[in-house]
Amino acid sequence: MKKTKKLLMLLTACVLTFSTCLAKTEPTKANAATKVKNIKAAVTTKTNSQTYAESMQPGWNLGNSFDSVGSTGETSWGNPVVTQQLIQTIKSQGFKSIRIPFTAYGRVGAAPNYTIDSTYLTRYAQVVQWALDQGLYVMINIHHDSWEWAEYINADDDNGVSMTEYKAIWTQLANYFKSYSSKVCFESLNEPYFKNHSGDVSTDIQMQRLSAVNTQFRTIVRNSGGNNTSRMLVLPTLNTNNSDDRCTSLYNTISGFNDPYIMATFHYYGYWPFSVNIAGTTTFDSTTISDLTSSFDRVYNHFTANGIGVVTGEYGLLAFDSSSSAIEHGELLKYFDYINYYAKSKGIALMLWDNGNLLNRTSYTWNDQALYNTLKASWTSRNSYSTSDMLFVKYADRTKDISMNLTLNGNTLSSIYNGSTKLVLGTDYTYSNGIVTLKGSYVNKFISGSYGTKATLTMKFSAGVDWNVFLNYYTTPVLSSATGTTSGFNIPVAFNGSKLSTLEAVYSDGSGAGPQNWTTYKQYSDAYTANYSTNVVTLTSNFFSACNDGVITLKLHFQSGEIIQYNITKSGTSVKSN
């Protein structure tokens, strides 16, 4: 996706949540569910919408194609033309549903008809049919319109213009697709957000406007006839956020319809600090897990437990929009294993957001095969892993045993391989009570020569995907002096086999320097990057745009455990190390 505005709303919601966690002054709204009208006891027999949602699991998003905005249509945001082979690949990879975001903005005629460009709609429908031909469920929505004209629907100063356009667009879409298979479902509006032309409005007013939008949407579709009289409709919470007040508002809207063919949807991109690597949250820790479980629990309690199916229309990690290197790879894999496990336990379907950076749309292969392997395995079982997938050994420690705790998730360890060579239990390693100990005599074989990854140890389990542990020979990284400018300052780093985990930036008084100065730990890609082929850590122009002149102390945290201090002085547009 081109998520400039989309990301802004997600971050706004996440910052509020994270700020609350830091302050610990606002209690969780645990009793908000009591405000739900006519809330029922947990449903034991699956309803139509619950069954439909579970049939969509797992799902995938065709992002940044038909939702892109620009004169070149579906290729405007850098992706190639969608091919039938791509859709066939999605099916062959095990996905059961596909969300095909559609942006009407820039593709409709003048008021009052707002006629959708027929060529574009016909082309979009061709891809929908390709998906149906593969037996996939298909979700149709209007997408980035949320950040253009649609945010003014029912605005006090809009005179009904935006609602008129909304009704016109959905009237056309409903009529166009009304004879299509029941495997096509309609989503009213992506990540809805509402404001006045003169400025923002309260959350309560926004929820009232969303209820009106969802009501108009349902009326239009149901009155269009054909298969639309019983077509599954997907209604979002405000901002597709999982807070109690937003879930309660949507539940009340849905329950008022008394319509068995309605599902709820929300989006989830993880605990924000982990999702973008900020505030020192670099591992899939207990706080990150708690955020995930509480989010899905809220949605389950409001909807699934009351007979309303739920689909997470988008899930992933926000860091994917900027860099695949922002989050340590093993921690990333743990996140995807856990979210698939937990969502499944709650009967909630997941649709992976892919803007073209996950499944390559030219070669039809995964850019990160280990990620896909983890996803695929997690659809049917749990995966196992060690505390970290990275081991760092210095020369002086080469003969020491190394112990690794395993999280088995109900599996058993079968064997360990280094390439095609099977490690010998009792000689190369020992195993007891979930702890693998590599013998120093085995580790010592690899600790010589150049620094870097010396062996990839593959753990095999009774179920789930293999888990790789990378054995790295390293010594303490060395930083060199440098001069440069605020357009992008390169710090020469001899990584010496280690890798950067996170970076702190503080002024002399200890306060945070750079963007998001509520934390000293900076966000990867936004404030800094690491390049292991050119041996530099780069402070971005965005970092310096939020910095005062003077001395800034950097603390570079490495995955091997070292923390190295590096001082710089900013003077106007000039930067130099001290």
Does residue 546 sit in helix, strand or coil?
coil
Identify whether the C-beta of residue 191 lies closer than 8 Å to the C-beta of residue 141: no
Structure tokens at 249: 């508002």
Is 26 in the active site? no
Strand 478-479's sheet: what is its strand order? 478-479, 488-494, 536-540, 528-531
Which amino acid is it at 4?
T
In the block, which residue shows the tokens 């939702």?
67
Structure tokens at 34: 């009591």
Identify whether the C-beta of residue 182 lies closer than 8 Å to the C-beta of residue 134: no
Identify whether the C-beta of residue 45 lies closer than 8 Å to the C-beta of residue 340: no
Q: 10 Å Cβ neighbour count for 6?
A: 22
Per the residue annotation, which of 151, 187, 191, 331 is the catalytic one?
191
Task: Return d(Cα 376, Cα 59) in angstroms, integer.
Answer: 12
Per the residue annotation, which of 314, 328, 331, 504 is the catalytic one?
314
Structure tokens at 8: 């802004």
Identify whether the C-beta of residue 367 lies closer than 8 Å to the C-beta of residue 324: yes
Identify whether the C-beta of residue 121 lies closer than 8 Å to the C-beta of residue 149: no
Structure tokens at 381: 């079982």
In the block, which residue shows the tokens 């196992």?
384
List, in sequence order, every residue forming a beta bridge with 473; answer none if it has no partner.
393, 452
* Dihedral angle computed from the Cα positions of residues 49, 54, 57 and 62, in that order, rounded to the nearest 10 degrees: 0
Identify whether the C-beta of residue 473 lies closer than 8 Å to the C-beta of residue 517: no
Strand 435-438's sheet: what is its strand order? 385-386, 402-407, 435-438, 429-432
Task: Return d(Cα 348, Cα 33) in angstroms, integer.
Answer: 19
Structure tokens at 576: 């130099």
Q: Could you please report the per-residue DSSP string of 484-535? A: EETTEEEEEEE-TT--EEEEEEE-TTS-B-SSSTTSSBPPBTTTEEEETTTT
Structure tokens at 248: 């309660």
Is 562 in the active site? no
Phi, psi of 446 (to 5 degrees): -105, -10
Query: Closest by alpha carbon to 261, among 237, 236, 228?
Result: 228
Start-to-end Cα distance in the chain? 41
List residues with catalytic annotation: 191, 314
